[in-house]
C-alpha cells in the first residue's frame, strides 16, 4: 500500500514583521539592486530564457508554472526546510539559502531569499550583505557562523564538508538536526540555483518585487489562484 504524505497548503496572508517601518518605502529598506549589492553576483544576464515559458513570472516562479508536476515536490521541500518546525528561525534558514545562492552567483535566488531573511532581521539587508560578503566578521552567533561555514563547504562539493566543520558546529551548540538541515538546505539551493540559471530565467531589477513577496507569502506551498497553470 502506498503511503501518502500530506503537506499543509497555506493561503497567502501577511505575516507579522515588526521590523518593517512604513518609512522604509516599497523596498522595505532593501536598497539593492537600485545600488550595486555588496555581494559579488557576477555580470547581469541579458539573455532570454532558453525555453518558451509562456509566463512573465521571473526566476523559479516561471519554471514552476511551466512544469507544475515538478513544482509541487520542489516547493514542498522548501516548505519543510525553510518554514517547518525547527530550532533555527525562519530568518536563519533563509539566510543559509541566500548565502549559498550568493556563492553560486544566482541573482534571482539571492535577491529572493535575502529579502526573506532581511525582513526578519532588525538590521535588514545590511546584515545579509555582511554575512555574504565576509562571514568571519559578520555580527551573528558562532553557531550560525559554523552552520554557514558548513553550507559554504557544501556549495563547493559534498566531500568538502569535513569532520572539523561538524565539530566546530557542535562546539557552538548546533544539534545534529540543525547540521543535517543546513547541509540539505545548501544542497537543495545548489539545485535550485542551477535550475534557475541553467534555463536562463531573469531576475527583476525592482527591489519592491522581492520585498513584497517576502512580506506577503505564508509559505512555499501558498500559490495564488491566478498563478495556477491552465490545463
Give me the pLDDT at residue 174, please: 98
Per-residue confidence (pLDDT) for residue 217, from 0 to 100: 57
Alpha-carbon distance of 30 to 36, in angstroms, equals 12
Q: Which three cell numbers mark 25?
A: 518605502
The total number of residues written for the chain in this structure: 231
> In this predicted model, what pLDDT tens digit does every residue of 151-167 receive, in sequence order?
999 999 999 999 999 99
CA 44 to chain centre: 19
Which pLDDT value is given to residue 123? 85
Do 194 and 101 form a contact (C-beta atoms < 8 A)? no
Measured CA to CA, the distance from residue 124 to residue 121 in angstroms comes to 5
Reference 196, options 59, 62, 35; nearest CA is 59
Residues in CB range of 4: below 8 A, 6 or more apart: none
Domains and CATH numbers, the chain: 55-221 (1.20.1290.10)
Measured distance CA(150)–CA(147) in Å, rounded: 5
Q: Got the DSSP string for 18-55? A: TT--GGGTTTTT--TTSS--SS---SPP-PPPSS--S-
* Residue numbers in the chain where pLDDT is lower than 70: 1-37, 216-218, 223-231
Rounded Cα–Cα distance for residues 142 and 163 (Å) = 17
Whether 174 contacts 146, CB under 8 Å: yes
CA distance 96 to 172: 17
Amino acid at each position: 500500500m502506498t503511503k501518502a504524505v500530506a503537506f499543509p497548503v497555506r493561503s497567502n496572508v501577511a505575516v507579522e514583521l515588526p521590523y518593517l517601518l512604513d518609512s522604509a518605502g516599497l523596498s522595505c529598506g532593501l536598497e539593492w539592486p537600485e545600488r550595486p549589492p555588496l555581494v559579488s553576483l557576477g555580470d547581469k544576464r541579458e539573455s532570454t530564457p532558453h525555453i518558451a515559458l509562456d509566463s512573465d513570472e521571473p526566476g523559479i516562479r516561471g519554471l514552476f508554472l511551466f512544469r507544475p508536476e515538478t513544482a509541487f515536490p520542489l516547493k514542498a521541500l522548501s516548505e519543510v526546510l525553510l518554514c517547518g518546525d525547527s530550532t533555527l528561525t525562519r530568518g536563519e534558514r533563509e539566510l543559509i539559502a541566500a548565502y549559498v545562492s550568493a556563492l553560486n552567483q544566482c541573482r534571482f535566488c539571492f535577491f529572493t531569499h535575502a529579502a526573506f531573511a532581511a525582513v526578519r532581521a532588525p538590521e535588514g539587508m545590511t546584515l545579509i550583505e555582511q554575512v555574504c560578503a565576509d562571514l568571519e566578521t559578520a555580527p551573528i552567533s558562532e553557531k550560525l557562523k559554523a552552520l554557514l561555514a558548513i553550507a559554504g563547504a557544501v556549495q563547493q562539493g559534498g566531500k568538502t564538508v569535513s569532520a572539523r566543520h561538524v565539530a566546530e558546529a557542535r562546539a557552538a551548540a548546533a544539534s545534529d538536526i540543525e547540521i543535517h538541515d543546513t547541509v540539505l538546505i545548501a544542497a537543495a539551493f545548489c539545485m535550485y540555483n542551477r535550475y534557475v540559471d541553467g534555463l536562463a530565467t531573469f531576475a527583476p531589477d525592482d527591489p519592491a518585487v522581492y520585498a513584497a513577496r517576502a512580506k506577503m507569502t505564508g509559505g512555499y506551498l501558498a500559490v495564488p489562484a491566478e498563478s495556477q497553470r491552465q490545463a
